[in-house]
Amino acid sequence: MSTLFSPTCIRGCEFRNRIVMPPMATSLATRDGLAVREILDHYAERAGADVGTVIVEHTYVTRSGRVNDRQLGAHTDSAIAGLSELAGTIEECGARPVIQLTHAGASGAGDEQGTVFGAGSVPRPGKEDVTPRPLTVEEMQYLAERFAWSAAQCIEAGFAGVQLHGAHGYLLNQFLSPLTNDRRDSYGGDLEARGRYPLEVVELVREAIGEDALLYYRLGADDLMCGGLTVEETAPFAARLAGAGVDVVDISGGMGGYRPEETREGHFLPLNRAIRDHVGDEVPLILTGGIVNPETAEQLLRDPAVDFVGIGRALLSDPHWATRARGQVGR
């Protein structure tokens, strides 16, 4: 039997297969962050063509955390209403809907006055022209509460789970990475201190969504940059995430993005293997990274460090990738 198309269950939630559509920005939302018909159609076409899990693109929890004006938001009642329709559409197509929640921090557009906030006062790599103002502890608490509010509302709206974005240079990644966290309070310094705020957000979100909902975390397991995070630090941190209530860890890159120099299919597999050694078999891991061939996806799932495969660009170019894969390896 094909592993790619084998069903599984997490926290009582059943998944029809191991194919995950990872979060990929469409920039189709309104300037108020609302979902429109084009977004619903985009996800419905892929969810209805044998994808098992759809993780909706990065969705901001406050306007200050957006990247651009066409990004989805989960920050108001009106935004949640549109997301409810999106969740229902994905579910009706047979896939499990999950939504990625984020604050861009120093990677974002900032507040209405143009002030950009970050974990520290260090410009994030790739955006050296912007020096962020470090968040105060009070502001950090406020944002954590906004993460929790948005998460609870999304679960109420019909999503099976939420994913916290801790990769690709976004705010939670900025706290964890020594490249961007130069704080001198209890949230800066060694790994334990740098990881304190992401864990506080996880714990608050876990409490807000309850025990029946799924909590994913996209972990920037390697900054892919000199002096940045490596898997030697993030593997034990992944175990702490699991202890704080995370159900599924989605492994990707950190400050350096999601495309290392080596771009073979499943290029993050070594990171999955290192993290598996720390989290054990009870926490499912998603492998992403340039997977385009169904046979390769099938082979990668036979590795003990891989429970789901993220199929990104291949699904963007071919919405029916999963259906075609079933014809090749689904026997």
- Helix (H) / strand (E) element for 204: namely helix 196-209
Over residues 92-106, mean pLDDT:
97
Residue 280, SS3 per DSSP: coil
User: CB within 8 A of 182, min separation 6: which ones?
Assistant: 120, 121, 122, 188
Does the structure show a pLDDT above 80 at 23?
A: yes
Over residues 81-95, mean pLDDT:
98
Average pLDDT, the chain: 95
pLDDT of 109: 86
Per residue in 29-58, pLDDT (tens digit) is: 999 999 999 999 999 999 999 999 999 999
Does the structure show a pLDDT above 90 at 66?
A: yes
Residue 225, SS3 per DSSP: coil
Q: 213: closest CA among 66, 99, 72?
A: 99
Does the structure show a pLDDT above 90 at 189?
A: yes
CATH numbers and ranges of domains, the chain: 8-329 (3.20.20.70)
Rounded CA-CA distance 122/128 in Å is 8
Confidence of residue 128 (pLDDT cuts 50, 70, 90): confident
Rounded CA-CA distance 196/202 in Å is 10
Per residue in 291-314, pLDDT (tens digit) is: 999 999 999 999 999 999 999 999
Q: What is the CA radius of gyration of the chain?
A: 18
In the chain, the DSSP E strands lie at: 8-10, 13-15, 19-21, 53-60, 72-73, 96-102, 117-118, 133-134, 161-166, 214-222, 248-253, 285-287, 308-310
